[in-house]
Amino acid sequence: MLRNFIRTWKQFSRCKLGVVGLIIILIFVVMAVAAPVIAPYDPQASFLAPMFTPPNSKHLLGTDDVGRDVFSQIIYGSRISIMVGLLAAAIGTALGTVVGLISGYFGGIVDDILMRITDIFLIIPFIPLAIMFALYVGPSIWNVVLIFGFLGWPPTARQIRSLTLSLKETPFIEAARAIGAGNGRIIFKHILPNTTGVIVANVVSRTVFAILAEAGLAFLGASDPRNISWGMMIFFAMRSGAVLYGAWWTYIPAGFCVALLACGFAFLGHGITLLLNPRLRGR
């Protein structure tokens, strides 16, 4: 087990970009976990200073429209982005994997139907549907998680399905049947473990999208004001005229964090994809 891990790490670390991504993510994770310790103030505490105070020694990133410390908000905001991003991606990928496995393994009518459904979902434009959904469900940070769960599975399903199809033809699957393994065992003990690479790559790349989606929806006001995420910060900033006021610290850093975290996952995903497809390394 450990041997495997070390070998995989050596291979992965050849792609510098992937390592950079991992480092970025780790920094944010640390930030999220250690938030209560690192943040100088309670992010919800208002009127600590006059509104829109520029960055100074007491408030590293100044204050927002109700006098809250921006720096603390940023630190606590990382929790939401990471949690929502990963959760949404995980659910979407899990669903997609199940669909892909079943579709690829059993084939026939089941496959046809599932693939048709998948195609249909791929065509539905995400943002308007997400917004309408958020409209009905109301402001909540779980919006993204739910929507991703419902809409995020098709690409994964496709990939897992084609992988399953090719794995199905390999001799070791036939061998498994020859020694008496049932379908369930074959799917979960033989095919699934050989798809972990694709699964991980999918989770990571969906996380990028999920982080952006959460920020976007929050920016439009779809999120829960009780948990201030980075997107929400920008939302409040715009609503309160921070732009006109020139209070860039209320929105630029927040957006930068969204971009940085998403980049981290994007780089990581890049590294993982290279790991899986040695062919691409040359390019």
Interface residue with another protein among 14, 185, 226, 281 (CB under 8 A) is 185
Nearer to another protein, 41 or 160 (CB): 160
Binding to another protein by residue 236, rule CB under 8 A? no
When binding is defined by CB under 8 A, the residue of 89, 190, 232, 275 that contacts another protein is 190
Residue closer to another protein by CB (options 4, 57) is 4
Does position 262 interact with another protein (CB under 8 A)? The reply is yes
* Residue closer to another protein (CB basis): 83 or 259: 259
Please choose, from the candidates 162, 159, 161, the residue with its C-alpha nearest in 3D space to the C-alpha of residue 203. Answer: 159
Residues numbered 95 to 134 that lie near another protein (CB under 8 A) are 116, 119-120, 123-129, 131-132, 134
Q: How many CB atoms lie within 10 A of CB 246?
A: 9
Task: Provide φ and ψ at 78, rounded to 5°.
Answer: -60, -30
The minimum distance between CB 112 and another protein, in angstroms, equals 13
CA-based torsion, 55, 58, 63, 69: positive or negative = positive
Q: How far apart are CA 68 and CA 62, in angstroms?
A: 8
Q: Is 101 helix (H, G, I), strand (E, B) or coil?
A: helix
Closest alpha carbon to 80 in 231, 246, 197, 242: 231
Stretch that binds another protein, among 52-60, 70-78, 98-106, 164-172 (CB under 8 A): 164-172
Residue type, 121: F
Contact letters (x/-) for another protein, 201-230, by CB under 8 A? Answer: -------x---x--xx--xxxx--------
Please calculate the CA angle 129-131-132 and round it to the nearest 5 degrees: 65
Residue 123 beta carbon to another protein: minimum distance, rounded to whole angstroms:
5
**Region of 26-34, 78-86, 107-115, 172-180 interacting with another protein (CB under 8 A):** 172-180
Q: How many CB atoms lie within 10 A of CB 144?
A: 32
Exposed/middle/buried for 84, CB within 10 Å: 0-12, 13-18, 19+?
buried
31-70 residues in contact with another protein (CB under 8 A) are none
Residue 278 in contact with another protein, rule: CB under 8 A: no
Cα distance between residue 202 and residue 228, in whole Å: 27
* Rounded-to-integer distance, Cα 135 and Cα 222, Å: 8
Are 209 and 234 contacting, i.e. CB atoms less than 8 angstroms apart? Answer: no
The reply to whether 255 sits near another protein by the rule CB under 8 A is yes
283 is a site residue for another protein (CB under 8 A): yes
Counting every residue written for the chain, the total comes to 283
Residues lying near another protein in the complex (CB under 8 A) are found at 4, 17, 116, 119-120, 123-129, 131-132, 134-136, 170-172, 174-182, 185, 189-190, 193-194, 208, 212, 215-216, 219-222, 234, 238, 243-244, 246, 248, 251-252, 255-256, 258-259, 262-263, 265-267, 270, 283
